[in-house]
Amino acid sequence: MVKAISSIQDSEKLIQEEGKATLRDFITTFKMGIVNSNLITTFAGLWLGLQYTNEGFFDRLDSIIFVLLGTAFIIAGGCALNNYIDRDIDLLMERTKERPSATGQIPGKQVLWVGLILSLIGVIWLALSSYTAAFFGLIGLFVYVVIYTWWLKRTHSMNTIVGSISGAMPPLIGWAAIDPSLGSMTPWLMFLIMFLWQPPHFLALAMKRTEEYRIAGIPMLPVVAGFEMTKRQIIIYVSVLLPVSLVLYPLGVLYTVCAVILGVGWLVLGITGLYKKDEKMTLKWAKAMFIFSLNYMVVLFIAMIVSVLI
C-alpha cells in the first residue's frame, strides 16, 4: 500500500513536469458510462411520475432539465471522489491502473476538488427540481463515497450490497422531481428493482476480476468466500428480483412481457452456473451474466417508459 501511494506521488510529479491533463482525462474520471446508465433510470422515474400526476412533459420541463443535470453532475462528482479515494488500489488492478487519477495524469488535489465542486453543483440543480430529489441525491452520494468507497469496500464483503443503495437512488430522484410527496409505491418498487439488480451485476464482475481484487486487498465475495458461494448469492438475488419486477405489471403488457422474459432468462442463465465446475467455464459464465445484467437493466427501464405510452 505504501509503495502504491509512493508511486502515485511520483507519477503526479512526473506529469506536472511534462504536461497537463486533457479534457478526455477528466471525462474518464467522471465515468460517463455510469452517468449515462443512471440517467436512463432517472428519466424512467420522472417519466412515470409525470404519468402518475397526469402532468405534461413540457409543463414540467424546468424540473426535468434540473433533475437530469443534477443527477449527471452529482454522479460524476461521486465517481471523481471515488477515483480520488481509490488511487492507491487502482494502481494495483489491471482494469483501473490506467485511470488518470491513478497514474497521476490528474493530480490528486485536482480530482478531489473537481469531485467536490461537481457534487455541490449537482445538489443545487437537484434542489431546483425539488428538495426531496436533492435529499435522495445526498443520501446516494454519502453512501457511495463515504460508506462504500471510503469504508466498506476495503473492509467487508458486504460492500456490494450496501453500495447498491446509492445505485438504486436515481429512479427515486427522478420521481421526486415531479412528485416530491412520493405518493405512489411505484418509485419505491423501482428503487427495489435497482437495489436487487446490482449485487448479481457487480458480483459477476468481481468473479471476472477476482485475482485483481485479491492483489489489491479488496474483500469482494469471490475473494473471501469463493466462486460457489458467489454463484449461489447471484442466483438468490436474481430469483428475488423476478417476482419483485412483476409487481409493476400495471405499467402494461409490454413491460410485463419484458420483465418475464428478462427475469426468467437471467435466472436460467444463473442456474447453469451451478454446473460450471471448471474455472475457465465459470469465468466465461460470469462474463455472460455481467453482459446480460447490463442488457436487463437498460431494456427493462426502457420498457417502463414505453409501456405507459401504449
Predicted confidence (pLDDT) at residue 133 exceeds the cutoff of 80: yes
CB 206 within 8 A of CB 190: no
Q: Pull the grid cell for residue 157.
A: 464483503
Q: How do residues 67-84 score in pLDDT, each as one tens digit?
A: 999 999 999 999 999 999
- State the distance between the two ends of the chain, measured CA to CA, in whole angstroms: 55
Q: Please give the pLDDT value at position 183.
A: 87
DSSP 22: -
Q: How do residues 67-126 score in pLDDT, each as one tens digit?
A: 999 999 999 999 999 999 999 999 988 888 888 888 889 898 999 999 999 999 999 999
Please give the C-alpha separations between residue 234 and each of 163, 241, 293, in angstroms, as whole numbers. Answer: 16, 11, 11
Residue 125, amino acid = W
- pTM for the structure as a whole: 0.91
Three-state secondary-structure class, residue 219 = coil
* Spatial CB neighbours of 146, under 8 Å, sequence gap ≥ 6: none
**Distance between CA 72 and CA 17 in Å, rounded?**
33
Q: How do residues 179-196 score in pLDDT, each as one tens digit?
A: 999 989 999 999 999 999
Domain boundaries, the chain: 24-184, 185-310
* Spatial CB neighbours of 10, under 8 Å, sequence gap ≥ 6: 104
Q: Pull the grid cell for residue 293.
A: 445484467
Residue 117, amino acid = I
Q: Please give the pLDDT value at position 309.
A: 86
Higher per-residue pLDDT: 25 or 245 = 245
Residue 60, amino acid = R
Q: Which CATH code for domain 24-184?
A: 1.10.357.140
Q: Pull the grid cell for residue 227.
A: 466462486
Binned at pLDDT 50, 70 and 90, residue 31 comes out as confident
Residue 133, amino acid = A
**Distance between CA 105 and CA 98 in Å, rounded?**
9
The pLDDT of 213-235, averaged and rounded, is 95
Predicted confidence (pLDDT) at residue 129 exceeds the cutoff of 70: yes
How does the average pLDDT of the chain come out, rounded?
A: 91
The pLDDT of 144-173, averaged and rounded, is 95
Percent of the chain past pLDDT 70, that is, above it, reads 94
**Which of 4-13, 85-94, 170-179 has the least mean pLDDT?**
4-13
Q: Please give the pLDDT value at position 19.
A: 45
Higher per-residue pLDDT: 278 or 46 = 46
Q: Please give the pLDDT value at position 27.
A: 84
Higher per-residue pLDDT: 9 or 228 = 228
Q: Please give the pLDDT value at position 5.
A: 43
Residue 300, amino acid = L
Binned at pLDDT 50, 70 and 90, residue 17 comes out as very low
Predicted confidence (pLDDT) at residue 151 exceeds the cutoff of 50: yes
Q: Please give the pLDDT value at position 246.
A: 97
Q: Please give the pLDDT value at position 12.
A: 45
